[in-house]
Amino acid sequence: MDIKLQQVSYAYAQGTPFEKRALFDVNFAIPSHTYQAIIGHTGSGKSTILQHFNALLKPTSGEVHIGDRVVVAGKKAKDLKAVRQKVGIVFQFPEHQLFEETVLKDIMFGPMNFGVPEKEAEIRARELVRLVGLPENVLEKSPFDLSGGQMRRVAIAGVLAIEPEVIVLDEPTAGLDPRGQKEIMDMFYSLHQERGLTTILVTHSMEDAARYADNIVIMHEGKNVLSGTPREIFKDVQTLKELRLEPPRIVRFQHKIEKMMNSSLSKVCLTEEELANEIAGLLRKERAES
C-alpha cells in the first residue's frame, strides 16, 4: 500500500494561545512494499508525522493519501477503522499497551475488534506467537508475568494479528540490550520480506536506518529536508552535521580507516560486513600492484 503526503502541515492546539506548529508543508511518498526510514533529531516532527499514517492525527492543511483513501484537512474522513486495520503502528514501548488476562486474549483482541471471528483470531494468535519467537505455552500466561523483551514480542504479535499492509515502527528497539535490538530488527526485516509489507521505521538510530532501509527521509524542524538511499544520505557528512545528525558508527569508522590508509574505498559502507569486504579488496589490489 502506497502512502503519500502532500503539503501536510499540523499544529497542536490550533486556534488557541497554546498553538504549536509541528509540521510545515511536508511532501514525500512511500511506495508499496518498500522499507522507509524517517530520521531526525528530537523535536524534528517524526512522532507527529507517524500518527498521520493511519489518521490518528489529521492534517491542519494538506492531504494524506493512504492507499486509495485520502484524508484532507478540514474534511471529515469516513470509515477510518478500515484505514487503521491496514496500517498497524508499533509504538515505542508497545508492552505498555498490554492489558488482557492472558497473552492469547491480548493478541486476539485486535483482530476481533475488527470483526474477525474468535476461532480465526485464535488461529492467528497461535501462529504469530511462534513467528515472533515465543514458545506456544506463553499463550495461557499473563503478559505481565513475562520479561520485558517477551512482552514486547507479544505486543508486536497483537499488531501483526490485524494483518496490516503497512507496519509503522516507532523506535521499536528502545530500552532493549544490543542482542535484543538486533533480534527485533531482524525479525521485522524478515516479516517485511516474507509478507511483502510496506515498512516505515521512525528512529534516531542511524545504524538501523543504514542496515535495513531502502530509502531515508530526514525531518528537521518540522520539514522534510532530505531524502535518498542510505548510501546517498550518509555520504553527505557535512549536510548531516548541519542537521545535527551523525552518520552511523560504521561510516565514521570507515572515514578513520580511509585516513589511516590514505586511500578511499569504492563506496560508503553501511554494515560491518561491507566494510570488511571493501578493506580486503583494497589490500588485495595494493598487493597486486606492488
Can you give the pLDDT at residue 163?
94
pLDDT of residue 81: 86
Average pLDDT over residues 227-251: 93
Read off the pLDDT of each residue in 154-171 and give the average, rounded to a whole number.
94
Region 264-269: mean pLDDT is: 90
The per-residue pLDDT for 174 is 85
pLDDT of residue 175: 84
Q: How far is CA 26 from CA 60, 85, 201, 203, in A?
A: 12, 24, 17, 18
- Triad 248, 205, 246: Cα angle to 5°: 40
Mean pLDDT of all residues in 150-177: 91
Q: pLDDT exceeding 70 applies to what percent of the chain?
A: 100
- The pLDDT, as a whole number, for residue 78 is 78
Does 168 score more than 80 pLDDT? yes
Q: How confident is the model at residue 80 (pLDDT cuts 50, 70, 90)?
A: confident
Instruction: Give pLDDT, residue 117.
Output: 96
Tell me: the pLDDT tens digits for 99-110? Answer: 999 999 999 999
Summarize the confidence of residues 221-250 as an average pLDDT. 94
Arithmetic mean of pLDDT, 192-203:
94
In angstroms, rounded to a whole number, what is the distance separating the alpha carbons of residues 289 and 12? 63
| Secondary structure of residue 139 in the 3-state scheme | helix
pLDDT at 289 over 80: no
Q: What is the pLDDT of residues 109-131, one digit of tens each?
A: 999 999 999 999 999 999 999 99
> SS3 breakdown of the chain: % helix, strand, coil, rounded to 5?
45, 20, 35
pLDDT of residue 77: 77
Task: Calculate mean pLDDT across residues 39-58.
Answer: 93
- Model confidence pLDDT, tens digit, residues 10-43: 999 998 999 999 999 999 999 999 999 999 988 8
The pLDDT score that the predictor gives to residue 93 is: 84
DSSP code string of 249-282: HHHHHHHHHHHHHT---SS---SHHHHHHHHHHH
The pLDDT of residue 64 is above 90: yes
Mean pLDDT for the chain? Answer: 92
Least confident of 144-153, 155-164, 221-230: 144-153
Exposure letters 125-159 (e unless 16+ CB within 10 A, then b): beebbebbebeeebbebebeebeebbbbbbbbbbb
At a CB cut-off of 8 Å and minimum separation 6, what does 124 contact? 107, 108, 111, 116, 161, 163
CATH fold label, 34-43+80-246: Rossmann fold (3.40.50)
B/e letters for 55-72, b = 16+ CB within 10 Å, e = fewer, are bebbbbebebbbbebebe
pTM tops 0.85: yes
